[in-house]
Amino acid sequence: MKPPTELAEAFRARGLKVTPQRQLLFGLLDGNTSHPTAEGLFVEASAQMPGISLRTVYTTLTDLAEMGELQPVSCGAGAIRFDPNVDDHHHGVCDSCGNVTDAYVVGAESLIVEGLDGFTTNSASIVFRGQCAPCASSTDESTSNPIPNSQQQTPNTP
Amino acid sequence: MKPPTELAEAFRARGLKVTPQRQLLFGLLDGNTSHPTAEGLFVEASAQMPGISLRTVYTTLTDLAEMGELQPVSCGAGAIRFDPNVDDHHHGVCDSCGNVTDAYVVGAESLIVEGLDGFTTNSASIVFRGQCAPCASSTDESTSNPIPNSQQQTPNTP
DNA sequence: TGCTCATCTACAACTCGTGCAAATTGCGCA
DNA sequence: TGCGCAATTTGCACGAGTTGTAGATGAGCA
Ligand SMILES: [Mn+2]
Ligand SMILES: [Mn+2]
Ligand SMILES: [Zn+2]
Ligand SMILES: [Zn+2]
């Protein structure tokens, strides 16, 4: 994703207005590696701009995604996440805390795929599921768990 | 997925009852390669057993999934699909008609993944997006499109 | 400064799935 | 074969997540 200043220009160039709501979201997304959901961004935005509506957050995120500045990421369950990292990359999802981590896969293009004869592939996305490092250590060790697995952001309850 | 007869035994062995509703669903899933949704199975089941409830379909599918007889497949958007093919395999999703095809990927285990240090991977699922063969030929050729892309099962409307 | 169309907010609606409780039924057992 | 009861079915409500809509509001431009 471009930095906020350039996003403002890109919006104006498209005939879209640069509103305080949008600028706030530009800032919240800039350099954000947490793969936030619309709801999550709404909560953060509301802290700085009480009264902002969830609808506006969705609209802005959709605009950014259409401009290619944001990559929507479906992790298999729960809300869609929005990723300012538009590199060609994939994701690891922790089944305990729900955190999503960037994963760069080398050689994905040279995979041998059987069964898709005649299929024209436009994109491939890989989701790794498992346990992130903090969750693995906090459950492996029999010591008291400082993070009870249901208080972190977007916990999974399958 | 086991054949219906063996599923009946497996259910009874678990203390689950073998009802007409469940037997009907066993039959609809047996050898089914269409990756149906709960709603889709409900429609098919309703044709043979009017009055069956969508709730019962969900319950039975959940039971089968917990027994490992069915694999829930998230394709990134829309309803969860249920796959009687529990092999280790992946999926191609057509962006035009929404059809889901099995894809067997060779060498997926030996992929080099960067960025997931400390992450314990339990599973990896790959979703290929693009155009299936029928959709590709019907849109490439400038002839009249016999399938207007919105009448097939589970059309995508992004 | 004033105009005007895009945007914002509030609210309804919609999709997919789950929780719940009353009525029904499979099935082990006498 | 007939009982008894736990499992199941059904219908409905509810919840999360997302989108449609319309009137109020405001950004950008002359
Ligand atoms: Mn990412
Ligand atoms: Mn499959
Ligand atoms: Zn974790
Ligand atoms: Zn297709």
> pLDDT (tens digit, 0 to 9) for every residue of chain B, 158 residues total?
999 999 999 999 999 999 999 999 999 999 999 999 999 999 999 999 999 999 999 999 999 999 999 999 999 889 999 999 999 999 999 999 999 999 999 987 788 889 999 999 999 999 999 999 999 887 654 433 333 333 334 333 33
Q: In DSSP terms, which residues pair with B91 in a beta bridge?
A: B102, B127
pLDDT of residue A138: 74
Question: Which tens digits make up the pLDDT trace of A125-156?
Answer: 999 999 999 998 876 444 333 333 333 343 33
Angstrom distance (rounded) from CA B22 to CA B53: 11
Q: In DSSP terms, which residues pair with B121 in a beta bridge?
A: A130
- Whether A157 shows a pLDDT value over 60: the answer reads no
> How does the average pLDDT of chain A come out, rounded?
88
Handedness of CA A154, A77, A61, A72 (dihedral sign): positive
The spacing between the Cα labelled CA in B102 and the C1' in D30, in angstroms, equals 60
Closest nt to residue A16, judged CA to C1': C6
Mutate to test the interface with A, among B99, B116, B131 (most CBs of A within 10 A): B116
The CATH homologous superfamily to which domain A87-142 belongs is: Ferric-uptake regulator, C-terminal dimerisarion domain (3.30.1490.190)
Contacts of B120 in chain A (CB under 8 A): 130-131, 136
Considering the segment(s) A1-86 as one domain, its CATH architecture is Orthogonal Bundle (1.10)
pLDDT of residue B117: 92
Please list the alpha-helical segments (H only) found in B49-126.
54-66
Of A104, A122, A129, the CB nearest to B114: A104
Name the phi and psi angles at A42, rounded to 5. Answer: -60, -45
Q: CA of B70 to nearest chain A CA: how many angstroms apart?
A: 16
Degrees (nearest 5) of the Cα angle A109, A79, B111?
20
A110 confidence band (pLDDT: 50, 70, 90)? confident
pTM of the model: 0.87
List chain B domain ranges. 1-86, 87-142
pLDDT of residue B108: 79
pLDDT of residue A144: 34
